[in-house]
Structures are given as C-alpha cells and as structure tokens.
Amino acid sequence: MSKKKVILITGASSGIGFDAAQALASRGHKVYAAARRVERMEGLKALGIEVVKMDVTDECSMMEGVKYVLEKEGRVDVLVNNAGYGFFGAIETVSMEEARRQMEVNVFGLARLCQLVLPAMREQGCGRIINTSSIAGRSVFYFGGWYHVSKYSVEAFSDALRMEMKPFGIDVSMIEPGAIKTDWGLIAADHLRDSSKGTPYEGDAARWSGTMRHFYESKLLSRPSVITRQVIRAVESRHPKARYRKGRLSGTTVFFHWLLPARWWDALMRRAGRVSFC
C-alpha cells in the first residue's frame, strides 16, 4: 500500500473516532469520517477531513457511503470500524429489540462494511481492516451481558476474517481499549439504571450504575489519544498485529479474567457492584 492511505472511519463524531480521524489526517492520510450526527463533525471539516453521513444499521446508508469514497478516490486502503455503543442491563430485562439493536450496531454493521469494502481491496491487491473491539471481548463485567456478547462476536469475526483475507494481501487487526475517558461509560451506566427500574435487579443495578458513573467521571481513565496511537500503528505498521490492547486496566483485567476461577471472578464482580458512590 502507498504511504498515504485512503481511510474510512466510522463512529467519528466523538470520542476515539473523532480523535483518531484528526490524528490520521494530520499525518497526511486522506480521511473520510462517517457518523450519523454529522453536525458534530464541523471541527473535522476544518482540517480537510471529508464527512460522510452514515448509519451502520441502515444498508442503503452504508452502501452509499462506501460508493462515495470509491467514486472519489478509486480505492479504500483502510476501513476503521469504530462505531459502537454499550447497553448494560440484566439479560432477563433488556428487551430483545434492544439486544438486537446492539448486535446490529456493534457486529452486523461492522461485518456489512467489511463486505462492502473487500471487493475493492481484493481488486487492488491490498488493504487493511481495523475493528474496534474491547477488553469487554476478553472479559465479562456485572450486568454487561449483551454488550459482551457483541464484543466477543467482534473478536471471533475478526479472527476468522484475518485468516480468510491473508491470501489476498489484506490485513485485519483489532483495537481492544481498556477504560477510556469518553461518554461511553456514562451512557452505559444510564442504560443500566433505566432498564432495571421496577425489576428484581433494580437495587444491584442502581449501585453498579453509580459505581460506573463515578469511575467514568474520575481522573483514573486513559485519554482517547492513547487508543489513537494504537490505531495509527495498525494503519501504518508494515506488519500490523492482530490485536492492539491499551488503556487503563486493559492488561490487568484480561489477565485476571483468564487467571481466576470463574466463581472467583463472579464474586469479584458482584462485590464491586455493591460499592455505591451515589
């Protein structure tokens, strides 16, 4: 691939996606920043970044977005699948409609975009796909069931895709953020509180929601730029790694989830969920 790449990045209206789009553009890459809320990306336009309105739950929106980039550039060198969100709540009480929506955004939208860019990448004989997973794809937290299902799915999907794409010169990497200072945790905490009201889980869920909110409002988290540096490595490395894990608690969480017996990990999560900062 050429040194300066044509990059399509989703979920670019805030957080990691916004930060990564800026950084990649500053390094000379041609960046197409996609999101539903394009009004939040005026700052990216000022940097010469092309803004694309895209909803990863809408087939026509995704097809038109990829077509737009291909018509303007004739190629897509890198797809960064960054769009996603977290909905926490007890598995029994989260509606199947919401569970399906989370899978649609975090998994099926990601997968469909891969399908849409792969023909062009195969034709050009090279390409790179970078999927944003999470340490939530390597460990499980209290009340995070459906979110973890989605991120474990991204892990399996990316591993399978990496093997399939190797003969075509296309690399597949995953970004596995730890605790990052974005609105993600606050939104997930609110979802947990709201989805559990009036259910048998309300008490524990309210306390865990308070714990999450306190943590994500604290200064203990890593900045999005920590993950942006990993995205840059995945984009520019001659031989990109399968996984880039970074951010506060990322290594220790995955290690202890692997090390501890399941009943110990479960007890640790339940105990943490009883801590209230409200």
Beta bridge partners of 248: 179
Residue 11 sits in which domain range? Answer: 6-178+224-251
Amino acid identity, residue 206?
A: A
The pLDDT score that the predictor gives to residue 182 is: 82
Q: Is 95 part of a structural domain of the chain?
A: yes
Please write the tens of the pLDDT for every residue from 11-62. 999 999 999 999 999 999 999 999 999 889 999 998 889 999 999 999 999 9
| Alpha-carbon gap, residue 140 to 160, rounded angstroms | 22
DSSP designation for 82? -
Q: Which of 68, 85, 142, 147 is catalytic?
A: 147
CA dist 132 → 75, 228, 234, 242 (Å): 22, 11, 11, 12
Q: Does 274 have pLDDT greater than 70?
A: no
The pLDDT score that the predictor gives to residue 218 is: 85
The CATH number of residue 74's host domain is 3.40.50.720
Beta bridge partners of 34: 52
Number of Cβ within a 10 Å radius of residue 219? 5
Contact criterion met (CB below 8 Å) for 54 and 36:
yes
Q: Is 256 part of a structural domain of the chain?
A: no
CA dist 38 → 66, 89, 207, 256, 263 (Å): 16, 29, 35, 40, 45
DSSP designation for 265? H
Q: Is 29 part of a structural domain of the chain?
A: yes
Q: Is 203 part of a structural domain of the chain?
A: no
Q: Is 122 part of a structural domain of the chain?
A: yes
Indicate the number of domains in the chain: 1
Q: Is 258 part of a structural domain of the chain?
A: no
pLDDT band at 1, cuts 50/70/90? very low
| Alpha-carbon torsion angle 130, 230, 244, 151, nearest 10 | -50
Give backbone dihedrals phi and psi of 187, rounded to 5 degrees, phi first. -65, -45
> Rounded mean pLDDT of 104-109?
97
Please write the tens of the pLDDT for every residue from 222-237. 999 999 999 999 999 9
Q: Does 276 have pLDDT greater than 70?
A: no
The pLDDT score that the predictor gives to residue 197 is: 92
DSSP H stretches of helix in the chain: 15-26, 42-45, 59-73, 96-103, 109-124, 145-165, 184-196, 202-217, 224-236, 250-259, 262-273
DSSP designation for 213? H
Please write the tens of the pLDDT for every residue from 128-175. 999 999 999 999 999 999 999 999 999 999 999 999 999 999 999 999
Please write the tens of the pLDDT for every residue from 163-199. 999 999 999 999 999 999 888 888 888 889 988 999 9
Mean pLDDT of the chain: 93
Indicate the burial class of 61 (C-beta count within 10 angstroms; 0-12, 13-18, 19 or more): middle
Please write the tens of the pLDDT for every residue from 63-88. 999 999 999 999 999 999 999 988 89
Out of 75-79, 87-91, 209-213, the most confident range is: 75-79
The pLDDT score that the predictor gives to residue 273 is: 62
Q: Is 196 part of a structural domain of the chain?
A: no
pTM of the prediction? 0.92
Q: Is 147 a catalytic residue?
A: yes
Q: Is 78 part of a structural domain of the chain?
A: yes
Place of tokens 């849409």: 116
The pLDDT score that the predictor gives to residue 46 is: 87
Q: Does 278 have pLDDT greater than 50?
A: no
The pLDDT score that the predictor gives to residue 219 is: 83
